[in-house]
Structure 1
Amino acid sequence: MKEININTRLSVFESMQELPNDVRDLMQKAIDVRKNAYAPYSKFNVGAAILLDNGEIALGSNQENAAYPSGLCAERVAIFHAGAIYPNAKIVKMAITAGSTTSATTKPIPPCGACRQAIFEYEFRQDNPIEIYFMGETGEVYKSNSIQNLLPLTFDKNFL
């Protein structure tokens, strides 16, 4: 038997004010679109903003449904929007913010497993890492240089 050691490296910013200006602007767009979330069941609103290499920004907020699996997370709404409207553009950066309407969310909230896989699909397809910044409503912002820091054992088309 042998062991595999997997390490993850993230950068931590104390607040949005420490972010580079372009990332702070992108995060503000994620905060603004978070207000459009439809989350009557979870009361957990998420916003995502994606910067593409053509300079366009794709936005998404979570959209719930009483038939729970039928809803969609903000990250996938934004990614699929980008893929549908700008199919040849590469994703450069993604900003994600999440907040509860019932309690304060001050810790960074990473993408769920399904969203990590969706982000990886685009990162794999474009053969370029995607910078991912995520936070709660306030407080620290975490940065990952690639989805592979958040999903180290990836599944791609080569397994099919």
Structure 2
Amino acid sequence: MNSINLNISFEQYTGIEELMDKDRILCGQAEQALSSSYSPYSQFRVGTAIRLASGETILGSNQENLAYPSGLCAERVALFSIGASHPNAVIESMAITAQTDNFEILSPVTSCGGCLQVMAEFERKQKSPIEVLFYCLNGEVLKVSSVKSLLPFAFVEDRLER
């Protein structure tokens, strides 16, 4: 038996004012995306902004449905939009934030496992890392250099590509 430890590296910022301009702008765009959230059941709005290598930014927000499993997270809304309308685009980075009127969010909200798997698939498809920023409104920002560090055991089956 082998015992193996996995460690991830990430950067922690006390607020967006510490970020480089391009990252601060991306976080601001994720915050703007909150306004298109359809979340009448949870009142938990999530917004994401994705910066493409072309310089274009794609926004996404969570979209709920009365039949809960039929809804979709903000990350997947934006990523699937890219897949449908920009199939060969290269994603440089994405910022994700959340907001609710029901309580104060005190730390960055991270992506669910389903979103991480989709993010990992896009990273794999483009054969280059995607930087991810988790932004807490009026609070800290966590930044990772690759989705792979968030989901080291992403589902991969190379034989399916044949």
TM range (shorter): over 0.9
Deviations 1:12-42 (A, max 9, x none): 0110111110111111010011121111111
User: 1:132 aligned to 2:102?
Assistant: no
The correspondence of residues 110-121 of structure 1 with structure 2, limited to 5 A, is: 110-121=110-121
Q: State the TM-score, normalized to the length of structure 2.
A: 0.95
Deviations 1:41-77 (A, max 9, x none): 1111000000001111110000000100100000000
What are the ranges of 5 or more consecutive residues in structure 2 without an aligned counterpart?
Answer: none
Equivalent residue number for residue 66 of structure 1: 66
Tell me the amino acid that sits aligned with residue 89 of structure 1.
A
Equivalent residue number for residue 157 of structure 2: 157
Residue aligned with 2:50, SS: strand
Identity %: 46
Judge which range, 134-143 or 72-81, deviates more.
Answer: 134-143
Tell me the amino acid that sits aligned with residue 125 of structure 1.
K
* Conserved? CA contact 1:65–1:71, under 8 Å: yes
Q: CA offset at residue 159 of structure 1?
A: 6.1
Q: CA offset at residue 154 of structure 1?
A: 1.6
Residue aligned with 2:36, SS: coil
**Structure 2 CA distance for aligned equivalents of residues 111 and 136 of structure 1:** 13
Q: CA offset at residue 138 of structure 1?
A: 2.3
What are the ranges of 5 or more consecutive residues in structure 1 without an aligned counterpart?
Answer: none
**Structure 1 CA distance for aligned equivalents of residues 41 and 103 of structure 2:** 15
Instruction: List structure 1 runs of 4+ shifted beyond 6 angstroms.
Output: none
* Conserved? CA contact 1:105–1:138, under 8 Å: no
Please provide the CA RMSD for this pair: 1.1
Q: CA offset at residue 137 of structure 1?
A: 2.3
